Amino acid sequence: MTVSSAPGKVYLFGEHAVVYGEPAVPCAIERRATVAVDAREDDHIRVEARDLSLDGFTVEYAGDTDDRPDVDVPSGLVDAAMGYIDAAVEQARDAADAPDAGFDIRVESEIPLGAGLGSSAAVVVAGIDAATRELGVELSSEELADRAYRAEYDVQDGQASRADTFCSAMGGAVRVEGDDCRRIDAPNLPFVVGFDGGAGDTGELVAGVRSLREEYGFAADTVESIGDIVREGESLLAAADPASDPEPELLADLGRLMDFDHGLLEALGVSSRTLDNMVWAAREAGAHGAKLTGAGGGGCIVALDETPETRTALRYTAECRDAFRAELDREGVRAEKAPNATSAPNAEAE
Ligand SMILES: Nc1ncnc2c1ncn2[C@@H]1O[C@H](COP(=O)(O)OP(=O)(O)OP(=O)(O)O)[C@@H](O)[C@H]1O
Ligand SMILES: C[C@@](O)(CCO)CC(=O)[O-]
Ligand SMILES: [Mg+2]
C-alpha cells in the first residue's frame, strides 16, 4: 500500500481572475486529503470515499468508465467523486505507462468539499502521487503539479487554472500567472477560516464570471482590477521578512487589499449572503481584512487576525458552521506511512 497526503489552500488574492491570465496568490493550509492506494491484479478501480457524504461509500468498477458502479448513493455524488479519482488514475497510468493498472483506493479528507479550500486539487495531487509511487514511478513535484492540473482541467471542462493544484503540490505561498507557477516567500500569515456548511459549484461559478466578462467591458475591467490587487499584494509580501512574524502595517495593508478583492468578487456575482455575513462579522471583530476564498457561492471565507477575536465572533455568527485558524502549510504533498493491518483490513505494511 502507498499513502500520500496533500494540503488544501486559501486564496490570499486572485481567484477567478487567475482563470483569465491574471496572477493569483493561494496559500497552502494545514488541512489535508489523504489517499491510500493498493495495486490490484485486474484493471478494476475500487474507491472508498470516507468523507464524501456523512456516511461515505465504497464503489467498484471495471477499467471502462461506462461500467458505472452499483451503489446506494445518489448517482450525481458518485459521478462527482469518480470524476477526480478517475482523472487521477488516468494520469498515474499514463505516467507509469501502465494503461491497465487497477487500484483499491481509499480517500480520507479534512477539507470540506466544494467550499473553496481546494479539496478537489488535494485529492487529485495526493491520488496521482500515491498511485504513481505504488507503480514504482517517482514524479518530480513540478510534473506532479502539471498532471494534477491536467486532471482538474479535464474534470472541470477546461474551467481550471494551475493555481490550486500547484499550491497543493508545492505547499507554502505560491504565485500563479497562466503557465508561470512559482513558490514565493511569505511570513506566517494569521489566517482564520469561517465555513458556512455549504458549497458552490466551481464550474458554474467560473462560467458565470466568464459570461459577465464577455458581456460587459466593466466586468472585464473588474477582472483586471483583481490582477492589480494581486500585483500590489505580492510587492508587499516581497518586501516582508518571511522569517519573522508579519508587521502590523503589513497585515493592515494586506487586509485592505483582501477587502477590496472581496468587493470585486461580490460584483462578479460569486459571493453569497452567508459569505458576506461572515466577511462582515470578521471585519467587525477587528480582522485586518476578510474575503471569500476559492470559487465562492457558499463555503468559506478567509480573514487575517492574529488575535482570537475573529474566530470567536464567527463562532457566534448564525451563518457560520465552523471557524478555525489555518496555519500555512510549507510542505505540500508528502508520502505517509501506510497504516497497519488493524486500521485497514486489506493493507499490507510497507
Ligand atoms: N474526500 C473526498 N473524496 C472523494 N472526492 C472528493 C473528496 N473531496 C473532494 N472530492 C472531489 O472534489 C469535488 C469538489 O471540488 P470543487 O472544485 O467543486 O471544490 P473545492 O475544490 O473543494 O473548492 P475550490 O475549488 O473552490 O477551492 C467533490 O465534488 C469531489 O468530486
Ligand atoms: C475559481 C478558481 O479561480 C479557484 C477555485 O479554487 C478556479 C481555478 O482557478 O481553477
Ligand atoms: Mg476545486
Is the CB–ligand 2 distance for residue 212 below 6 Å?
A: no
**In this structure, what C-alpha cell is assigned to residue 175?**
504565485
User: Which band of pLDDT confidence, cut at 50, 70 and 90, is reported for residue 66?
Assistant: low
Instruction: Say yes or no: CB of residue 294 within 6 Å of ligand 1.
Output: yes
Q: Is the CB of 16 under 6 A from ligand 2?
A: yes
Task: State how far the Cα of 186 lies from the Cα of 229, in Å rounded to an integer.
Answer: 17
- For cell 496572477, name the residue: 23
Q: What is the mean pLDDT of the chain?
A: 91
**Annotated binding residue at 308?**
no
Q: Closest ligand 1 atom to the C-alpha of 108?
A: 1
Return the residue whose CA atom lies nearest to atom 22 of ligand 1.
114
Q: SS3 sequence, 36-100?
A: EEEEECCCCEEEEECCCCCCCEEEEECCCCCCCCCCCCCHHHHHHHHHHHHHHHHHHHHHCCCCC
Please give the domain boundaries of the chain with CATH numbers for all domains.
2-183 (3.30.230.10), 189-326 (3.30.70.890)
User: Does 299 belong to an annotated binding site?
Assistant: no
> Residue 77's closest CA among 104, 58, 91?
58
Pairing of strands 102-109, 45-49: parallel
Q: CA-based angle 111:116:117, to the nearest 5?
A: 35
DSSP 245: P
* ipTM of this predicted structure: 0.96
**Predicted pLDDT at 80:** 66
C-alpha cell at 186: 511569505
Atom of ligand 1 nearest to the CA of 47: 4
pLDDT on residue 217: 98
Query: What whole-number distance in Å separates Cα of residue 259 and Cα of residue 239?
Result: 21
Distance, CA 188 to ligand 2 centroid (Å)?
A: 23
Does the pLDDT at position 346 exceed 50? no
Q: Are 12 and 28 in contact (CB under 8 A)?
A: no
Q: Is 108 helix (H, G, I), strand (E, B) or coil?
A: strand
In the prediction, which pLDDT does 74 show? Answer: 58
Q: What is the mean pLDDT of residues 232-242?
A: 95
Q: Determine whether 164 is an active site residue.
A: yes
Best residue among 123, 166, 302 to mutate for probing ligand 1's pocket (most ligand atoms within 8 Å of CB) is: 123
The strand ranges marked E within the chain are 2-13, 25-40, 45-49, 57-61, 102-109, 173-177, 180-184, 191-195, 289-292, 300-304, 322-326, 334-336
Q: pLDDT tier at 18 (50, 70, 90 boundaries)?
A: very high
Q: How confident is the model at residue 192 (pLDDT cuts 50, 70, 90)?
A: very high
**Atom in ligand 2 nearest the alpha carbon of residue 294:** 6
Average pLDDT, integer, range 40-64: 73
Catalytic pick among 104, 146, 164, 196: 164
83 CA distance to ligand 3 centroid (A)? Answer: 12
Task: Please report the pLDDT score of residue 63 as a whole number.
Answer: 53
The protein residue with its alpha carbon nearest to ligand 1, atom 23, reads: 116
The answer to the question of whether 120 is labelled as a binding residue is: yes
Say if residues 334 and 96 touch (Cβ distance below 8 Å).
no
Q: What is the mean pLDDT of residues 277-296?
A: 98
Amino acid at 338: A
59-73, 225-239, 272-286, 311-325: the lowest-pLDDT one: 59-73
Residue 64 has pLDDT above 70, yes or no: no
Q: How far apart are the CA of 307 and the centre of ligand 3, in A?
A: 29
Per-residue confidence (pLDDT) for residue 308, from 0 to 100: 97
Ligand 1 closest atom vs CA 121: 21
Nearest ligand, CA of residue 116?
1
CA distances from 127 to 86, 89, 237, 258, 346 (A): 10, 7, 32, 32, 18
Q: Please report the pLDDT score of residue 349 as a whole number.
A: 40
